[in-house]
Structure 1
Amino acid sequence: MDDTTLTALMEREHHDVDEAIEDFVQGLRERHVRHQDLRRATDLLQRHIYIEEALIFPPLRAKGMLAPILVMEREHGEIWRTLDALNLEVGSGTVADSVPDRCRQLLHELEVHNGKEEPIIYPQADAALTDSQKDAVRDFMRSGTMPTDWVCAQVGNG
């Protein structure tokens, strides 16, 4: 697969997010709270959701792909709330007993979500977005930063 397709780029980010969460979980197994791994997972995941909701979903929605986008946005909300709960449970150094279970919950939500998104949404994005829209996504992935106060559509003011 061409690694410049949106499908390949977005799937690679899915793997990066999973890896960051798994690194955090591995730290917990070793009795270390690796805040940097959780921060990396949070930053990657929230930015990834931003790319989808701000850059990929609007053109797909305009082309009539309404129901799948609504499902993705609903699941983004669930994932975002789980991530928020996880960050709250980790706190400022004290880790709640629920953290490993919350990590498993987040990884499961991502697995279910990505299992729909990768074969349905991304190939449609590769087919339906204009070259300039695809370039905007690629450019943002290389160097863009999401607004600091942005949250996904199903959580709040996204």
Structure 2
Amino acid sequence: MLSDNGNRTPRRRRQSPRLDQPDFHKTYLADPQSDVEEHVMPDRVLSAELMRQHREIAAAIECFVGKLDGGDRQPELLRATMDALRRHIYLEETFVFPPIRKAGIMKPVFVMMHEHGQLWRTMEALTRLLADRTGGPRFDATCDQLLDQLHGHNFKEEPVVYLHADYDLPPPTSAQLTRFVVTGRIPDGWVCQQAGTKRGR
């Protein structure tokens, strides 16, 4: 963000985890089939795994924004993080939301899917800006928008929806979700239901 005199104004840091080591890239952002043992979830409820993904994705976006503040633009970090967020949205809409909705938790799931659409459209805007090599205030503002949307979404989703992930998912679905966390890939061209757009294949 630029100040009135044209200098970049440091942003106020949020209290989410910072990403100061490469572990995130070695695990969640990297090829999901690598380092499989680190992804297995023994003695861990599904909600804890989903929240871990929230923390790591938000931390990676904050890391990217922090590097922007220092004049160091790393598009590969943002692209990898957005891929991770799209994958997270896919696993929720494919494995988590349907059985929760079937259990009667309708309105919260509808709100979460609407917010997925907002996140998706913001990521598409950032993808276009990266492709056009567009920087400056517009790019900064769109990064901030994605981070704000993600924080607001996570704040609502974790206490309202994720509790049901531990109790309302039938065992076969829970097993499918666990396998997807370890090795799954988002299908080419998939978009979330409320995105209102299509990705090129």
* TM-score normalised by L of structure 1: 0.91
CA contact (8 A) 2:58 2:151 kept: no
Name the residue aligned to 2:129.
89
Superposed CA deviations along residues 78-104 of structure 1, whole A, max 9, x for unmatched, are: 111111112222225442431221111
* 1:78 paired to 2:124: no
Q: 2:76 aligns with which of 33, 36, 42?
A: 36
Farther-moved stretch of structure 1 (91-100 vs 46-55)? 91-100
Name the residue aligned to 2:181.
141
CA contact (8 A) 2:47 2:163 kept: yes
CA RMSD of aligned residues (A): 1.8
Name the residue aligned to 2:51.
11
Superposed CA deviations along residues 31-83 of structure 1, whole A, max 9, x for unmatched, are: 22211111121111000000000111111111121111110000000111111
Superposed CA deviations along residues 9-48 of structure 1, whole A, max 9, x for unmatched, are: 0000001111221121122122222111111211110000
Q: 2:172 aligns with which of 132, 137, 141?
A: 132
More helix by share: 1
Unaligned segments of structure 1, at least 5 residues = none
Tell me the amino acid that sits aligned with residue 69 of structure 2.
R
* 1:110 paired to 2:150: yes
Partner Cα distance (1:94, 1:105) in 2: 16
Farther-moved stretch of structure 1 (71-80 vs 2-11)? 2-11
What's the % identity of the aligned pairs? 39
CA 1:49–1:12: 2 relative to 1, 3 Å: same
CA contact (8 A) 2:99 2:169 kept: yes
Unaligned segments of structure 2, at least 5 residues = 1-41
Secondary structure of the residue aligned to 2:190 is coil
Partner Cα distance (1:138, 1:60) in 2: 16
- More RCO (CA 8 Å, sep 6+): 1
CA 1:94–1:17: 2 relative to 1, 3 Å: same
Partner Cα distance (1:13, 1:92) in 2: 29
* TM-score normalised by L of structure 2: 0.73
Partner Cα distance (2:125, 2:186) in 1: 21
Name the residue aligned to 2:12.
none
CA contact (8 A) 2:65 2:143 kept: yes
